Amino acid sequence: MCGRFTLTAEIDLLMDWFKIDEFASEFDLPARYNIAPSQDILAIVANGEKRRAGFLKWGLVPFWAKDPSIGYKLINARAETVPEKPSFKHAFKKRRCLILADGFFEWKKDGKHKQPKYIKMKDGKPFAFAGLWEKWKDDQGTPVYTCTILTTEPNELMADIHNRMPVILPKEDYAQWLQWDGETEALMEMMKPFSASKMMAYDVPTIVNSPRNDVPECIESVSS
């Protein structure tokens, strides 16, 4: 699964790396060292021929949901079953997004102890999770925009840490993933484990266990 991640890169770097054309609104982008479910996260959607960046609430609320609290259960979606699941199939067909990150956390079990690990690219560059987004309206008709992160089987690096990992898209797949009328077969092919040779992982302090701690110390390396 993917339940916590980081985004510390500056906005100018993100604009260039992800070819962002416009933003949904004016906003600040402080470095985030411990992003958690239910928070607003930076994502890119396709807006015609342009890529538009804005914030989505992490935890997908399907358009047909009666209660928005369902979003707390839908922070991740399994890539293998997403085309058929009622909660995700509509978004999978028409509302795919890129969720921006430069690292994520997973907890490795060692007996009764769980050691938090930080996983990132060896070159330190940002990357994109494959995501889905939805537009839900409350009783007053106010729209709420939410999202989920897709997960898949682990690669060689992640297999030693957890039995799932987020779908990380190669840069060359961004355009096709965002394309409104993408073919299911081609999309399914994209949702595979990212190359382990390009990634690294190390132990970090247990302060990351609490989402209240959003500080640089969350990604500092510690001895095993």
- The 3-state DSSP class for residue 49 equals coil
Question: Please, what's the b/e burial string for 35-68 (b: 16 or more CB within 10 A of its CB; e: otherwise)?
Answer: bbbeeebbbbbbeeeebbbbbbbbbbbbeebeeb
Pair 158, 118: CB distance under 8 Å: no
* Catalytic one of 106, 134, 147, 218: 106
49 belongs to the catalytic site: no
Decide if 136 contacts 65 (C-beta within 8 A). yes
SS3 149: strand
**CA–CA distances in Å: residue 20 to residues 3, 47, 140:** 25, 11, 32
| Residue 153 annotated as catalytic | no
Q: Which residues are catalytic?
A: 2, 106
